[in-house]
Amino acid sequence: MNIFAIGDVVGQEGCEFLRKALPSFKKLKGIDFTIANGENSAAGNGITPFSAEHLFASGVDVITTGNHVYKRREVYDFLDSRFDIVRPANYGKNNPGSGFTVIDRGSVQIGVINLAGISYMDPAANPFETVDCVLPELGGCKVILVDFHAEATAEKKALGYYLDSKVSAVFGTHTHVQTSDAKVLEGGTAYITDLGMTGPEKSVLGIKHEIAITRFKTGMPARFETAKGQCFMCGCIFEIDEKTGRALSVESVCVE
């Protein structure tokens, strides 16, 4: 089966572009299952029920999140009531939402785990130890996808090797810049350090570059605003043998 994982969808611009680009891309590439990181999908950052519904309506099957998941209070009940949106599993046990889910497609069950990094990130439980506890909870499903929402490339690579042969794919999110290291590891796990983002290309991680320059140059606070202009949709296509859960191939894409 072909699984498409999409990097952080940023703001209204990213959402609108996804709606335009995703349906035809799925058809073109024969995509069976789509997963997207939605932690920045709301206008003004975070995720809301409205922005999440937009991602689902665009053809996303499961939404993962990250450090901005709890920015908007209106999403808390939504996180608790849906089985197709997850938040980092290594956040507090009693926090809204779940850290993993299993989607039953009849002939195949797909497990999705979301984890947050702890290097240069907000404090959270250890992601390596957390994933060890989550894997047995997935009911033995073969196809398992892990979104590791993390800053440090070393932490992401380490988790990729740690999970090699235990899951179908490990992909990084959060840095919004696609890395060129997509590969199937020796044990049959597909890996990429970061999927990249979906949103305005001429931007600093989705934000107007002028604002980012001012913040870096002066150290003064400036309100973030999503950039405008040509957007792209970045992610990875994982071809997975659904009988074994092993990845057969991986292709990183950036669609304009």
Contact set with Fe ion (CB under 5 A): 8, 40, 66-67, 174
CB of 251 to Fe ion, least distance (A): 22
Question: What's the rounded Cα separation, in Å, for the pair 93 and 72?
Answer: 19
For residues 207 and 247, which CB has a smaller minimum distance to Fe ion in the complex? Answer: 207
Torsion of the alpha carbons at 133, 138, 141 and 147, rounded to the nearest 10: -70
CB of 64 to Fe ion, least distance (A): 11
Residue 247 sits at the vertex; the CA angle it makes with 246 and 248, to the nearest 5 degrees, is 115
DSSP 215-250: HHHH-------B--S-EEEEEEEEEE-TTT--EEEE
**Catalytic residue of the set 54, 68, 149, 176:** 68
CB of 30 to Fe ion, least distance (A): 28
Do the Cβ atoms of 66 and 116 come closer than 8 Å? yes
Query: Residues near 211 by Cβ (< 8 Å), separated by ≥ 6?
Result: 204, 222, 223, 224, 225
CB of 136 to Fe ion, least distance (A): 27
Do the Cβ atoms of 90 and 124 come closer than 8 Å? yes
For residues 36 and 182, which CB has a smaller minimum distance to Fe ion in the complex? Answer: 36
Q: Which residue has the tokens 């990250």?
A: 66
Residue 206 has which token pair? 């989705």
Question: What's the rounded Cα separation, in Å, for the pair 122 and 176?
Answer: 18
- Residue 149 appears among annotated catalytic residues: no
Question: What's the rounded Cα separation, in Å, for the pair 34 and 84?
Answer: 11
* Residue of minimal Cβ distance to Fe ion: 8
Residue 250 has which token pair? 């991986």
CB of 239 to Fe ion, least distance (A): 26
Active site residues: 68
